[in-house]
Amino acid sequence: GAGVSQSPSNKVTEKGKDVELRCDPISGHTALYWYRQSLGQGLEFLIYFQGNSAPDKSGLPSDRFSAERTGGSVSTLTIQRTQQEDSAVYLCASSLIRGNTEAFFGQGTRLTVV
């Protein structure tokens, strides 16, 4: 596609429910990243994919968070048993390869847990 696409753009869920956030990277980009932007804070790194594998999951805040990537393309970030502190904008980015190439960001999914 022309850019990184994320869906849904907005999600309101009840506390305790599971949610899935989707990221469609730019075609041909092998590296994919998830970040979280909480109110008044900078972007927080969550996880990095190279192809379908995730060499760095160090930013996932708890075991309720998981992510996968299939076919070297689409990625899904899953949050189980959502809590109010999970409310944030979740941003996905992709780059052609890891390293000095530019990372292109999607518009994000705004998650609100009520």
Partner 1 sequence: AQSVTQLDSQVPVFEEAPVELRCNYSSSVSVYLFWYVQYPNQGLQLLLKYLSGSTLVKSINGFEAEFNKSQTSFHLRKPSVHISDTAEYFCAVRSLSNDYKLSFGAGTTVTVRA
Catalog residues that contact partner 1 under the rule CB under 8 A: 3-4, 31, 33, 35, 40-45, 48, 56, 91, 93, 95, 98-100, 102-108
Count the neighbouring beta carbons within 10 Å of the beta carbon of residue 72: 16
- In the complex, minimum distance from the CB of residue 98 to partner 1, in angstroms, rounded to a whole number: 5
Shortest approach of partner 1 to residue 59 CB, angstroms? 8
Q: CA-CA distances (angstroms) from residue 54 to 16, 84, 96, 111?
A: 26, 26, 16, 23
Nearer to partner 1, 49 or 82 (CB): 49
Cβ 111 vs Cβ 34: under 8 Å: no
Q: What are phi and psi of 62, to 5 degrees?
A: -160, 175
Residue with Cβ nearer partner 1 (80 or 110):
110
Q: Which is nearer to partner 1, 1 or 42 (CB)?
A: 42
